[in-house]
């Protein structure tokens, strides 16, 4: 697999990362298998050019995702680029931001223990705390870099930033851009993680151009549209009650059927590249084509999909492919 630099830094990662959240968090608990998840991590490390990006967070589980990765990192730390996050706590049925400097430092030490490593490659602020100036939180994170516990810092802008923009009528991620400018004055931002996929392109408007202009890497979260863009989900088949997609407006039977032309377009492009190429690989290749500093981070807990996703790094889309994907219809259904 090719390597990509995170912005203007010398840090390099495999072109396709591994989102580890589904292994312990966010999807149906009945389908979680520790052994299968471990095999998926090993597969990603085998294919990751010695720098496979593993993306986790202390809140996933909570804590159990980092513990799972630690079992692998104990033996294979040299093959991985470890990204984890801080700043969100799991409350009773909701999430609570905590950006207090003392908490951030304690949380980092706890993540290091669970991950069984002495350094975190990318430490991301999961959410800013409205009760704490973000400069104070970021300053505490910068102290962790100076202490040698963290190599670089990033900002996670998945979820809330886009929704906030829509509620206020502002451009998506406008608030994130302002926050990034504040952070840059304290300590350099190495990477931003935000959603980007064929059916969710808001980051192309201003956030990705900002990263390009400022030499900041871009980690594309949910590049497969929570599984929809793989073409393996059947409209009307339903989801288990604890799967968030069971309550998601874009995953109703009606909306999944209405958005089939998007999957059909991915299938057409895949067919031009051979019978072994999948819609998921085309979707990931489209993300990769958005810039040399863009790294998709598809989430999976299965070894098979981890291998297939990594294979997208070798797929080169033509100008015809990119034009067809550009002209696909906009996705129907709310995404927030």
pLDDT value, residue 336: 64
Output the tens digit of pLDDT for each of the chain's 336 residues: 999 999 899 999 999 999 999 998 767 665 666 799 999 999 999 999 899 999 999 999 999 999 999 999 999 999 999 999 999 998 777 889 999 999 999 999 999 999 999 999 999 999 999 999 999 999 999 999 999 999 999 999 986 545 544 544 557 898 999 999 999 999 999 999 999 999 999 999 999 999 999 999 999 999 999 999 999 998 888 888 888 888 888 999 999 999 999 999 999 999 999 999 999 999 999 999 999 999 999 999 999 999 999 999 999 999 999 999 999 999 998 866
Is 27 considered catalytic here? no
Looking at 27, 60, 173, 228, which residue is catalytic?
A: 60
The beta-carbon contacts of 242-251 under 8 Å, at least 24 apart in sequence, are 242/28, 242/29, 242/30, 243/27, 243/28, 244/26, 244/27, 245/27, 249/333, 249/334, 249/335, 250/331, 250/332, 250/333, 250/334, 250/335, 251/226
Q: Which two tokens stand for residue 81?
A: 């680029």
Which domains are seen in the chain, by residue range?
Answer: 3-226+279-316 (3.20.20.100)
pLDDT value, residue 30: 58
pLDDT value, residue 82: 98
**CA atoms within a 13 Å half-sphere pointing along the CA-CB vector of 319:** 0
| Alpha-carbon gap, residue 115 to 112, rounded angstroms | 5
């Amino acid at each position: 697999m090719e390597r990509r630099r995170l912005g203007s830094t010398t840090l390099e990662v495999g072109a396709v990362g591994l989102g580890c959240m589904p292994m312990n968090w966010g999807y149906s608990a009945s389908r979680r298998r520790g052994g299968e998840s471990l095999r998926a991590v090993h597969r990603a490390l085998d294919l990751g050019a010695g720098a496979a990006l593993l993306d986790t967070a202390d809140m996933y589980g909570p804590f159990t995702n980092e513990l799972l990765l630690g079992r692998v990192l104990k033996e294979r730390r040299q093959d991985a680029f470890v990204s984890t996050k801080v700043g969100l706590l799991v409350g009773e049925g909701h999430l609570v931001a905590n950006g207090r400097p003392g908490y951030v430092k304690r949380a980092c030490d706890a993540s290091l223990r669970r991950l069984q490593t002495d350094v975190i490659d990318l430490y991301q602020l999961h959410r800013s705390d409205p009760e704490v100036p973000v400069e104070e939180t970021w300053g505490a994170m910068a102290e962790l870099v100076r202490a040698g516990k963290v190599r670089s810092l990033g900002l996670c802008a998945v979820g809330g930033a886009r929704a906030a923009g829509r509620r206020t009528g502002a451009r998506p991620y406008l608030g994130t851009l302002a926050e990034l400018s504040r952070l840059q004055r304290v300590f350099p931002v190495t990477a931003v993680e935000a959603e980007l996929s064929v059916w969710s392109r808001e980051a192309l408007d201003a956030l990705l151009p900002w990263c390009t202009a400022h030499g900041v890497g871009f980690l594309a979260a949910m590049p497969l549209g929570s599984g929809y863009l793989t073409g393996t989900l059947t409209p009307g088949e339903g989801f288990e009650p604890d799967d968030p997609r069971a309550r998601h407006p874009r995953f109703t039977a009606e909306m999944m059927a209405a958005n089939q032309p998007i999957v059909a377009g991915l299938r057409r492009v895949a067919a031009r590249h051979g019978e072994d190429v999948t819609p998921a690989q085309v979707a990931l290749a489209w993300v990769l084509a958005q810039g040399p500093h863009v790294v998709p981070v598809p989430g999976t807990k299965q070894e098979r999909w981890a291998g297939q996703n990594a294979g997208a790094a070798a797929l080169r889309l033509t100008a015809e492919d990119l034009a067809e994907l550009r002209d696909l219809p906009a996705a129907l259904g709310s995404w927030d």
